[in-house]
Structure 1
Amino acid sequence: MAKKQLDVLTALDAAKTQWYHFTAIVIAGMGFFTDAYDLFCITTVTKLLGRIYYADAPNVPGILPMSVASAVTGVALCGTLVGQLFFGWMGDKLGRKKVYGITLMLMFVCSISQGLSFSSSRKGVMATLCFFRFWLGFGIGGDYPLSATIMSEYANKKTRGAFLAAVFAMQGFGILAGGIVSLIVSAAFRKYEADVSHNLAVHESDYVWRIILMFGALPAALTFYWRMKMPETARYTALVAKNASKAAVDMARVMKVDIEDNQSNMQSNEPEFGLFSVRFLRRHGRHLLGTTSTWFLLDIAFYSQNLFQKDMFKAVGWIPKSGEMGAIQEVYTIAWAQVRIAIFSIIPGYWFTVFLIDHIGRFVIQLIGFFFMSAFMLVLAIMYDYWRGHKYGFLVMYAFTFFFANFGPNSTTFIVPAELFPARFRSTCHGISAAMGKAGAIVGAFGAGYLAQDDKHRKTALLILAFTNALGYVFTFLVPETNGRSLEEISGENDDVEDKDRDPTIPYTVSV
């Protein structure tokens, strides 16, 4: 590796924590705030959609049919999966910054458009809503690999874990914001609700879900200017674009570091190898299997819990059943439950990770999270009939599963793929890992979600989720600890120069 490149990387790893690091956290984190708002605010309005458009349903009036409910909640996840693969690959090919703004523009346009899903028939409204939520998810998907890669490449090695965790922790505030906006909007429109029957003021109520969904465009719009002002990451410029001088200039422009520019750019003699080549698989195949499998298993449980928590809360009597309250009142009640879970369980879990990850490491936190998620789910499943008569005990146990998801694998599965892989594959491999996570989320939304809506099968759903968390615990042992080391040391990029004359038939030793 050229000396100039090493100078840039060393300066990045040794840089003191400074104001630009926090600016980068806010810029990247606001993307995740928007992501979480857009993905989870649908939870508060699905019942209202059923009341407005399916009030004449023959079996359960006012409830979205299972196929429609799964499509409305799951189609954004399908778009997210595709976006993670596409933008992850684009981030390595064109650079992180060049495609970073595109994702935000997609999120802005589709957040507005999904609220304008007008049609003369309910099928038309649902189809249009699903169309725009797919492309909304496509933009959200790009935020995962790009934000993670950008933050990891800006951070120093001492506090890199905390910075990445802080970016992802904005997801908790996005979930909280979804509940708060739903509370405010539903409270403003409750005067139009005549009674607890299905004969609500449809015209006024139709504005409620549209305003809630469209609000997601606001944080995206506020972030766009600052995102476009960010320079390309110095690691991408130095290691992938092979322009160490420009990397030094860009870094000096935003951070207080000084690198002497007294030599020409020297090209690295490192041997190039492709994604999924034999050399890549020898070095990183096990790591990629670990990051994809753990994220897949985690999201089956995490998204099932988030998207269908309202059904669990109704089952234990924490919130009334649909027939006992009006449609807009139901939005208010579900939103209020979401706000309390976010404040007392979800957000604390994220910030425990922020404060502890650089002290106890990613590996330990992920094992702790999977273990306790599995344990609490198993206890809830085995004693489900008992907990139904003890709703506050159920809520405490259920809240702990959220806490240990976020003080655990929901944070670490996002962080570790941004650290393990070489710079030229980092965004792509993070996108692949995240896409496998969304595949798990889709399984949760379309599979476990069906079970969670039926009271007879909720115990089975909890048992399945406990088992998937236990599998996540086992697959965690495929993932190495990355704490306290530079990205180049972790990925082995510093060793590439020494490897140029190596016999390719001799296996590489990868420390785990």
Structure 2
Amino acid sequence: MADSTRAVFSALDNAKTQLYHFKAIVIAGMGFFTDAYDLFCINAVAKLIGRLYFFDPTLDSPKKLPTNINNAITGVALCGTLAGQLFFGWLGDKLGRKKVYGLTLVTMVGCALASGLSFGSTAHGVVGTLCFFRFWLGFGIGGDYPLSAVIMSEYASQKTRGAFIAAVFAMQGVGILFAGAVALIVSKIFMDTYQAPPYSEDRILSAQLEGDWVWRIVLMFGAIPAALTFYWRMKMPETARYTALVEGNHQKAASDMAKVLERDIVVEKASSTAPVKPESSYGFWSSEFLRRHGLNLLGTTSTWFLLDIAFYSLNLTQKDVYPVAGLINKASTMNAIEEVYHLAKSMALIALVAIVPGYWCTVFLIDKIGRFIIQIGGFLMMSICMAILGFQYGNLRGEKCPKGSHKKTDYCGGNPAMFTVLFGLTFFFANFGPNSTTFIVPAEIFPARFRSTCHGISAAAGKAGAIIGAFVVQAYTVKGNSNDIRKAIIGLSVVNLIGFFFSFLVPETKGKSLEEISGEDKQLGNNEDANGVDKHLPK
């Protein structure tokens, strides 16, 4: 490897934790905070949209959102995310990480605002425009996955790289927590003014106006944290590894890193002022790439795909699980905004005690015990917890309360406490497990010129799994048939077990430099003679 390149990478790999590391975590992490908020806040307000726009005052109980419309609202952003991951992942390798980074943020801010401003003269018109804007919101969110992961991996030092990338991803848990908190606060503000039955034309109109404010404010709030970091995101320099390894400009790489590291990095001036790109012995679609990295790419895509089938099936159906767990009362005992309030409270509670701790356990332990152990351990524990939930579903859930029952819950008997514990443990081991590691590892194991593309492909495979969870698993269980739900949970347990075995295709990356992991140190070493001297240096 050329001395100029080695000097820059050595400075990065051996840098002590400094202010710029934390700044990078915050800048990239706020993007993920926004991603999670925008994707999961819909859980708190989807039922409200159903009660507002598909309302029938002649019914004794509130009308639910039609299944196909519910699936569209909750799943369309995932389709946009998949497309964005592929497109921006590829673009991040072609144009550079920084140039594309601002574009994803602008897309997220604009579409989050537009989602809350969804318009139409009919219920289907409102839902149609909402789905349109949430697709493009997902498109921007998709770009944040490969770019944030790759930027953090290329900025971080060798010893703390896993923790820093995990800290960026951990902001997803904080975003989910805030999605519940914001929905909780907004619904509480409007709850006292919302009118409950008996229904009259004036009261229905009042309810529609109040409820409209709630879901629109909750969705639009997602634009705020992203907008706050736009300036700092634009001020970040391009990563040194992209500048040196892809653009071939060692002088600029050293200059950029000297600013953030607050130290001089000495690089010999090249004889030509034009950047010299390193020789690439193989392309992305070549048989050589397949030989070197094919199994690794299969490992990262398959494990992320399998993980997200289970993870998003659980996340997107939280609102239906809470009544089973006894966390909220049956819908007929609450008005629409009260239901949002209790859903949001349950969502924030699960995030606080199960989701957020899982992410931060990964942050603190990943550079100590490694990615591989965390991933296979998480998959195995998820599989065990979901197997117990599935096989014991009827005993844990209880039976539907008979009509005319004075109980406030939908289910009688069962063991709601154990049901909640198993549900929470599944989330904990997803986040202290493959949900974090599948994000981290693809940002480490591929060469710089393919890194963003490969991460985007891996993430898109995950979103394909999420789409299966949103459209197939939810559709299968939407009728609430106990036997169908039991089979679905057992099936998801098997999916996690398959993910456990596919994890053996993914190498351990703890304590290694990115160039050592990807093999770029050997590739660039082809420029050195037998004595390890760069052939291109003056004799």
TM category (shorter chain) comes to: over 0.9
The one-letter code matched in structure 1 to 2:331 is S
The one-letter code matched in structure 1 to 2:306 is L
Matched, 1:231 2:256: no
Conserved 8 A contact 1:271-1:500: no
Distance 1:433 1:51 in 2: 37
Q: Decide which of 430, 434, 453 is 1:409's aligned counterpart.
A: 434
Summarize the alignment of residues 309-458 of structure 1 with structure 2, pairs less than 5 Å apart. Answer: 309-388=318-397, 389-456=414-481, 457-458=484-485
TM superposition outliers: structure 1 runs of 4+ over 6 Å: 57-60
2:535 is matched with none
Q: Decide which of 480, 486, 493 is 1:466's aligned counterpart.
A: 493
**Cα pair distance change 1:294/1:361, threshold 3 Å:** same
* Deviation at residue 309 of structure 1 after TM alignment: 1.1
**Cα pair distance change 1:142/1:380, threshold 3 Å:** same
Conserved 8 A contact 2:93-2:449: yes
Summarize the alignment of residues 111-510 of structure 1 with structure 2, pairs less than 5 Å apart. Answer: 111-195=112-196, 200=204, 201-264=207-270, 267=276, 270-388=279-397, 389-456=414-481, 457-498=484-525
The one-letter code matched in structure 1 to 2:521 is N
Conserved 8 A contact 1:311-1:452: no
Distance 1:41 1:460 in 2: 28
Distance 1:238 1:298 in 2: 34
The one-letter code matched in structure 2 to 1:62 is K
1:504 is matched with none
Conserved 8 A contact 1:196-1:325: no
* Deviation at residue 498 of structure 1 after TM alignment: 5.0
Greater shift, 117-126 or 161-170, is seen at 117-126
Work out the number of aligned pairs and report it. 501
1:506 is matched with none
Distance 1:338 1:465 in 2: 21
Matched, 1:13 2:13: yes
The one-letter code matched in structure 1 to 2:228 is L
Extract unaligned runs of 5+ from structure 1: 502-512
Distance 1:56 1:439 in 2: 35
* Deviation at residue 447 of structure 1 after TM alignment: 1.1
Greater shift, 55-64 or 362-371, is seen at 55-64
The one-letter code matched in structure 2 to 1:404 is F
The one-letter code matched in structure 1 to 2:465 is G
**Cα pair distance change 1:240/1:187, threshold 3 Å:** same
Distance 2:280 2:57 in 1: 64
Distance 1:440 1:211 in 2: 30
Conserved 8 A contact 1:47-1:62: no
Greater shift, 52-61 or 327-336, is seen at 52-61
**Cα pair distance change 1:154/1:196, threshold 3 Å:** farther
Distance 1:277 1:240 in 2: 18
RMSD: 1.7
Distance 1:350 1:480 in 2: 21
Conserved 8 A contact 2:191-2:338: yes
The one-letter code matched in structure 2 to 1:436 is A
Distance 1:202 1:23 in 2: 43
The one-letter code matched in structure 2 to 1:252 is A
The one-letter code matched in structure 2 to 1:47 is K
Distance 2:479 2:526 in 1: 58
Distance 1:481 1:299 in 2: 21
Distance 1:180 1:256 in 2: 39
Conserved 8 A contact 1:417-1:426: yes
* Deviation at residue 261 of structure 1 after TM alignment: 3.1
**Cα pair distance change 1:386/1:276, threshold 3 Å:** same
The one-letter code matched in structure 2 to 1:290 is G
Distance 1:304 1:276 in 2: 33
The one-letter code matched in structure 1 to 2:138 is G
* Deviation at residue 58 of structure 1 after TM alignment: 9.5
Distance 1:453 1:376 in 2: 22
The one-letter code matched in structure 2 to 1:42 is I
Aligned to 1:192, the other structure's residue is in SS state coil
TM-score by length of 1: 0.95
The one-letter code matched in structure 2 to 1:341 is I
Greater shift, 17-26 or 492-501, is seen at 492-501
The one-letter code matched in structure 1 to 2:262 is K
The one-letter code matched in structure 2 to 1:134 is F
The one-letter code matched in structure 1 to 2:140 is G
Extract unaligned runs of 5+ from structure 2: 398-413, 529-539
The one-letter code matched in structure 2 to 1:405 is A
Distance 1:398 1:321 in 2: 20
Distance 2:58 2:68 in 1: 15
Matched, 1:35 2:35: yes
TM-score by length of 2: 0.90
Distance 2:524 2:245 in 1: 13
Greater shift, 315-324 or 290-299, is seen at 315-324
Aligned to 1:139, the other structure's residue is in SS state helix
Cα deviation, 1:120-150, whole Å, max 9, x if unaligned, reads: 1011001000000000000000000000000
Greater shift, 419-428 or 56-65, is seen at 56-65
Distance 2:525 2:212 in 1: 65
The one-letter code matched in structure 2 to 1:256 is E
The one-letter code matched in structure 2 to 1:433 is S
The one-letter code matched in structure 1 to 2:216 is R
